[in-house]
Structures are given as structure tokens and as C-alpha cells.
Structure 1
Amino acid sequence: MMFVLLDFMLLLFLASVFVSSACARPSSYAVWAADSAIARGQGNGLDDNGNPLVSYEHGELQWALRLLYEQTGNKTYYDYIKTGVDNVVASDGSVGGGYSATQFQLDPLRVGPTFLYLYNQTNQTKYRKAADEFRNQFPIHSRTAQGQFWHKKIYPNQGWLDGIYMGDIFYAAYTQMFQPTNNTAWDDITLQFTLMFNNTIQNSATPNHTFTGLLYHGYDYSHSTIWADPDRGHSPEIWIRALGWYSMALVDALAIIPTSHPGHAVLLNILRTLVPRIVAATDPTSGVWWLVMTQPGRAGNYFESSGAAMFVYSLLKAVRVGYVTDSDGKIVASAKKAYQYMVDNWVVDHGDGTMDWKNTVQVGSLNTDGSYAYYIGVPTDLNDLKGLAAFALASIEYEQS
């Protein structure tokens, strides 16, 4: 009887070890975030009903998975990227998933860098044709009189910070791969960043708003929308994720635009202007950033996770690559403090080997009045891919710092 009991106890112990091992979280937060997204089937080129979908969120995750594949050699990440793209690109290279060039939307183009990556990896013509289809949108895409791409056809004359990350990283990557001497394209990419910066930068304090010197969510060149300020038509508030998209676009584009082209210096100057201001805008206690950055501490405002992760990624990459100097260590220290808050407050061990990611606001749009009440009234989501992918990117940088 004693031997039976001992055998039974041994079996229980081995079973507990197996379960513990099967559910153990990876030592890398970047891997944990990526594996969690994959386990939930997020970012796989399909919508919630299993229909093909071209989504900028998927493109953001695919960028993180590519970096992880290059670092770890884990082919799971590459295979997931390829499966996701194959869900939206047909064998003849045509792009499905709801994409239409004549809608003049910048958002879908965020998947474009993945087309280029897969073409480089496989030399399969369909990926080149898919990239060409996206690239052919630029000559027909509506612009302001200054030359800024409209964010979407349904928002005439409006430039949003979001659109720089969505469209111009693909524009730059395509130019680098296929047209590296096309200075007209490099000039145009530089123009997109510059117009957005010049038309949205907060130049002065306004009543009831904190001066940050950062960038408003967007602007209406025609000044015809309800929220357009007499000053350049900019929107009323600085919204964290819009600035996060733009910040990531800067550090990613600088790795693509030739240093010999004047645009590289232009973008570098913009980045060096914004980085200390982003650091200065942190909440002094938590070390992270408010959803509406122009109104820190106001009732209803809160610390938002996707924008915070985007800032951490941008700050750490800017220092690591040498785009900005950090002689006193304050930039890296600020980013690391924010990262620690993120893992302490927004990462939740789900108990099955995956993690949950909290406090990502669902959306921020300028199809409303752009008011403070609007931004704080949008719900947050659990495991929103915009935030989870940004956390994976931030973790990739943190784990190299």
C-alpha cells in the first residue's frame, strides 16, 4: 500500500511539474507578448469572423514578429507572418481583405512593409505585385495644397499623425528596395513628415492646456472642420497614441532614408526636438504619460498603455542607434522607469502561459469634435493589438538596452 501511495504521489508531482512547465511564461516579455498574440490568433490577416482583413494592427504586430524572428531564429514568427499575409494576398498578387486604393486610406498600407519583407525572403512575385499595388496608390492619393496626404478620402484636407506611421514607412521601405536613387520619392517622404510636424506642433500655451511643445493629433488645412483651430487648423488636444505613431515612424524611417539625402537630417532634427519634450511630459510619480497629454491630471484622464509603449520603443531605439545622445542617461532612465510601470500595472499573467495587456484605448479619431470629453470617453480594451504589439516592440528595445 505504501508503494502504491508513493507511486501516486510521484505521479502527482510529475503532473504538477508538467503543467507548471507547460504554462511557464518566457523570460522575455517580448516573446511572451508575441506568443500570447499568436496563441489568441491575433494579427493573422483575418477578422473576428475569419474573413480576410488588411489591418494596420496586423502590420504593426508583423513588424515586431520580424524583429523577433531575426533575433531568436524561431521560425514560428516567420511562419505566422507569412500565413497572415497569404490570407490577404492572392496567388496573382492582388490584395484582398477589404483594401481599395480609391478609398485613399493610409491605414492599410502599414501591412506593406511585410509584403516587401516576404518578397525579400522568398523572391515570390506575388509579394512584389502586392507591394506594387500599394505603391500605386501614392500618385493618385488626395493631398492638401501643400502636398500632405489626406488621412482618408472621407476626411478632406486632413493630415493625422497616425498616417505617417501607416503610409510613410512603407513608402520609404519600397523606395529603398526598388528605387533607391528616386530623390523625388525621398523628397516626398520628407515632406510628409515635415508638413505634419510644422502644422501640428504646439507653439504656445492655450487656456486650460499644459504647454508641452509636442504635436496635436492632426490638422485640417482647409480649416473647415468643427475642431480646426485658427492656428494652422490643428486639433484641440495632444493625444498620446497619435504622437506615439509619429515617434515610432521617425526612428523607423531614419533607419531607411539614406544618410546622404537631406531628408535624413530633417527627420533627425525633428526627433531630437521631440525626444526631450516627450521625456519632460512624463508623470513625475509613475513615469508614464497621460492619454490627453495637454491636460495631465484632469478628472477622467488616465495613463494609457499603447502610447506609453510606443514612446518607450522610440526613446530606447533613438538612443541605441545613436540618433540622439544621452550623455547624462536621463532618456534611457525615463524609458526604463516607464517600462517598469508598464510591466507592473498593465501586464497580467493569464495563468496558461499567455499574458494579458491592459489599458489600451480602443480608438482616437478626428471624425468627432476632437474634445477632451471625446478622448476620455472612448473605452479601453483588454489585449488590444495596437497596444500589445507596441509592448512587444518596446520590450525588444528594452531587452537590448
Structure 2
Amino acid sequence: MAPSTMQTAAILLGLATVHTTGQRLQCPWNPPADGLAFKMLESNIARGDGIENSGASTGFIELGIFQQALRESIAYTNSTTQKKKWSEYLQNSTLSAVASLSNATANAGLPLDRLSIGTSMIHQYESTKDEAYLPAIHALQDSVLQQPRNENGGLWYYQNRNNLTAYHNLSYADGMFSYPAFAILAANHTDKDLFGPEAALSQLHSLYDICKDDYNLLVHGYDASKSHAWANPTTGASPAVWGRALGWYTLGLVNTLSLLPHSSPQFASLKSLYNTLIRAQLTASDRSLNIEGSYGVWQIVDRPGATFAGHANFVEASASCLTSYNLLHGARMGWIEDESVRERAVLAGVGIFQNVIYEFLVEDGNGTVSLNGTSSVASLSGDVDFAYYVTRPTVLNSLIGTSAFILASLEVEKIC
């Protein structure tokens, strides 16, 4: 009899047994307390990454996820030396963005990604009470009030004042990494339509309801005006499930759940949404395992091994790391109540991460490590057919990819 998907995964990963309730998972390696996550973080620091906005179109979200990786590394390490060094680096990284984010009107012309830095600033202010953050925090709050919204209330991802025609009425799954956590942390603002847990829940659900496909995965975004050529004539949804956009959305959902007490009126609804998304992503992971013999998150998630206009789909590093983190964090926090689903989430999360190590991790020879295989930016502003996504170039040491690697590695260490 052919082995089940879970048995096959266990064989591939070298796992004799799987325990996710009250025990640590038997892993294919023994990660030390300061293993791959810390090695990648130190490599980023050695390269001078994340001190200020790179100036790339992804510059804000790069800083936002890097700062999250720093916060989680600081919280995890037992070394006072590392805590001090990384805390200073985090302080420098967040303070570097204050001047450029202290004008609300200017901020409103930037992608929603800017709010991920605002989240970091609020965390830093609450930790240090350094009032240098307040001008940027207040300006970012005020900028949300100026953010254009569609008729359904959905926030535009980007009010690009130099190219309004290309970006008007577009809502991206990517933006849900940045907005919900900021909306909760900035809930002291008087506008309850845009701040607080209910506002976060509303935006997450609105985008999900429009962008979910037949498998409960999320396509990249939607055009409320349905004027872009790619827009579904009924819903406005874009055609493809881009791995990193799905990863961003799910990470935003994970971060939102992490900020809310279980007693919050919104927690149960958000946890239900998380479980729906996780089940869909596990089905996609199993499809990759069955077709390719290994776990991985593909550039177009639901089409492993496919080709489009002669161009092959591929496993993408940053989406793989984001998904690994999202699966493992929820399993560890107990948000996945079905034991069989939780076991699948742990197997897939560890399996995806191990595949990243095999396929994309590079030993540099000077004590640092690098990460290959992160797709460059994908936008909904132009033609976004399937071939567009699979012809996006991949880059070495994208801060998005290396930061997601740190987060995933930390979760593997915590659960194994």
C-alpha cells in the first residue's frame, strides 16, 4: 500500500515520530539556541542591511519585516550581549525612518507597507519611551485617514500620485501585513472605522471575501473599479495566487492574532479565518509534495510544476519562509485545534524550511550566510497574467527573504 502524504513527508524529513502536543517535535537536525536564525541575522548586520530604507519599491516592507525579525530574535536569545547589540541595531533601524515618515500628507502617497515601520515604532516607543518616535507615529496615524478607500471600504494599497491611473482602486493582499497590526496598536486614535481590532478584522475579511479562489487561497489583490484588463468582471479579483502576497496576508493575520487577547470579540473570527487559510495552504503543500517529491511554496502557489507560455513555475524562497513561519507559529500557539491538521502544519512547516536550506541557503565562506531565490517585486499596476509572475527575476539576499528566513528558523527552533 502506498504511504500516506504524512508518512511520505516523515520519510523525506527523516522523522521517526511526530509529536505536537506537550512534546517537542523530533526534527531532522538539532538546532542550537543560536543556530541558523542568529547566523542569518548576524550576516544581515555584517552586510549593513536594514539600517535605512533601501530606496527600492519594496523598501518599507523590507524594513518592517526585518524589524520584526530583530524583535523576535531579541526576545528569543538568552545572551545579554546579543540583546544589547541587536536592540541598538533595532533602535537605529527604526529611528532612521522617523524623518521621512513625519509628514502625514506625504505618507498618504506611500504604499500601506509604511505602516509596518509604524508598528515597529510603536513597539519601540512602548519599550523605550523615546519621544523621538512620536512625530512619525502621529503622522502615520493621520495618513491612514487620508488613505483612499473603495466603495466597499477597502483601503487602496498605494495612492501613487505619479501614476494614479495604474494604481487607482487597487487593494493588495500584501497590504494586510502592515495595516492590521498598526490599526490595533494605534487604537487610541479617535476614528474607530480605521483603528482598533474591529477595523483590522473588517479589512482582512473584506479583502479575503473578494480575493479567495475556489480552493480558499487568496489571489494577489483586486480592482474595485474593474478597469484593469486582468480584473475579474464580477469581483475585480486578479488571476493568480502569488506566493508572497499570500504569505504577507497570512503573516498579517498571525501578527494580528498575536496582539489580541483570546477574550477579544474579534479573536474567534480571526482564528477561524487563519484555520481556513492554513488548511488551503496545507493542501497546496501536499500537492507540491506529491508532484515534486518535496515541500515548497511555488511562485504561483496552486500550480506546482506548471509552465506558462513556455516559462516554468518555481519554488520561491521568501514565500516558503513566510509560510513555514505562519504554519509553525499557529501550531505552537494552539490556534490549530484539530490535532491532525496541527500535525500536518508542523510537518509541512519544517519540511518547507528544510527545502529552503537545501535549495537556497548559501555558505559565503567568510562566516556569513546568504539566501538566494527571492522573487523581485510583483505589481498589479500592469499586465499580471500567469507568465508575468513566473518570469519575475530572483535575487540574492533580499531583506524580505533573509528576514522571513530568520522568522521561520526561530519557529523551527522553538517547536523542535
TM-score normalised per structure 2: 0.82
Aligned-pair identity (%): 30
Deviations 1:217-258 (A, max 9, x none): 001111111110123110010000000001111111011134
CA apart distance, 1:139:
1.5
Q: Is the 8 A contact 1:319 1:326 kept in 2?
A: no
SS across alignment from 2:208: helix
Tell me what 2:385 maps to: 371
- The structural deviation recorded for 1:277 is 1.2
> What is the RMSD computed on CA atoms of the aligned residues?
2.4
| Cα displacement string for residues 289-341 of structure 1 (whole angstroms, at most 9, x for unaligned residues) | 21112322113100001001000000001111111125131210111111111
Shift of 1:174: 2.2
Q: What corresponds to 1:192 in structure 2?
A: 203
Measured after TM superposition, the shift of residue 185 of structure 1 is: 3.0
Contact 1:237 1:372 in 2 (8 A): yes
In structure 2, the residue matched to 1:173 is: 185
> Could you tell me how far 1:278 is from its partner in structure 2?
0.4
Structure 1 residue 126: Cα displacement: 1.8
State the match for 2:173 in structure 1: 161
Residue 63 (str. 1) matches residue 68 (str. 2)? yes
* 1:179 Cα deviation from its structure 2 partner: 6.0
Mark the CA change 1:330 to 1:33 in structure 2 (over 3 Å): closer, same or farther: same
Alpha-carbon contact 1:216-1:237 (below 8 Å) kept: yes
CA contact (8 A) 1:290 1:304 kept: yes
Quote the residue 1:5 is aligned against: none
Go from structure 1 to structure 2 and tell me whether the alpha carbon gap of 1:326 and 1:358 turns closer, same or farther (over 3 Å shift). farther
SS at 1:235 equivalent: coil
Cα distance in 1 for partners of 2:201, 2:192 equals 13
Question: In the aligned structure 2, how far is the partner of 1:332 from the partner of 1:116?
Answer: 32
Q: Which secondary structure does the structure 1 equivalent of 2:196 belong to? A: helix
Verify: 1:76 aligned to 2:85, yes or no. yes
**Matched residue, 1:21:** none
The question of whether the paired residues in 2 share the 8 Å contact of 1:157 and 1:220 is answered with: yes
Q: 1:59 is matched by which residue type in structure 2?
A: G
Pairwise CA distance, 1:85: 2.0
SS in 2 for 1:136: helix
What's 2:42 paired with? 35
Query: How much does 1:54 deviate?
Result: 6.3
Structure 1 counterpart of 2:121, one-letter code: F
The one-letter code matched in structure 2 to 1:226 is: A
State whether structure 2 residue 408 is matched by structure 1 residue 394: yes
Larger radius of gyration: 1
Q: Deviations over 1:164-213 (max 9, x none)?
A: 102222222222xx46996863221111000011000003xxxxxxxx33
1:95 aligned residue:
101
* Ranges in structure 1 where 5+ consecutive residues have no aligned partner: 1-24, 204-211
Q: 1:181 to 1:233 in 2, by over 3 A?
A: closer
One-letter amino acid of the counterpart of residue 113, structure 1: T
Cα gap change, 1:96 to 1:339, in 2 (>3 Å): same
1:272 aligns with 2:241: no
Amino acid at match of 1:307: A
One-letter code of the match for 2:299? L
C-alpha distance in 1, partners of 2:107/2:142?
A: 8
- How far has the Cα of 1:98 moved from its partner? 12
Q: Residue 20 of structure 1 corresponds to which residue in structure 2? A: none
The question of 1:308 aligning with 2:320 is answered yes
Contact 1:26/1:32 (<8 A) preserved: no
Q: Any stretches of 5+ residues in structure 2 without a counterpart? A: 1-31
2:105–2:143 Cα contact (<8 Å) kept: no
**1:286 equivalent in structure 2:** 294
Contact 1:104 1:142 in 2 (8 A): no
Distance 2:265 2:34 in 1: 42
Residue 223 to residue 360, structure 1, CA distance change in 2 (3 Å): same
The aligned residue for residue 3 of structure 2 is none
Measure the CA separation in 2 of the matches of 1:128 and 1:304.
Answer: 37
Asked if the contact 1:54/1:96 (under 8 Å) is kept, the reply is no
Counterpart of 1:142?
A: 148
Q: Distance in 2 between matches of 1:250 and 1:89?
A: 26
Deviation of 1:96 after TM superposition, in Å, equals 6.0
SS at match of 2:390: helix
- 8 Å contact 2:213–2:219 — kept in the other structure? yes
Q: Is the 8 A contact 1:305 1:342 kept in 2?
A: yes
3-state SS in 2 of match to 1:126: helix
Which string of whole-angstrom CA distances, capped at 9 and with x for unpartnered residues, describes residues 62-113 of structure 1? 11101111221421111111112222224xxx73699922315201111111
1:59–1:111 CA contact under 8 A, matched in 2 = yes
Say if 1:335 and 1:352 are closer, same or farther in 2 by CA, change over 3 A: same
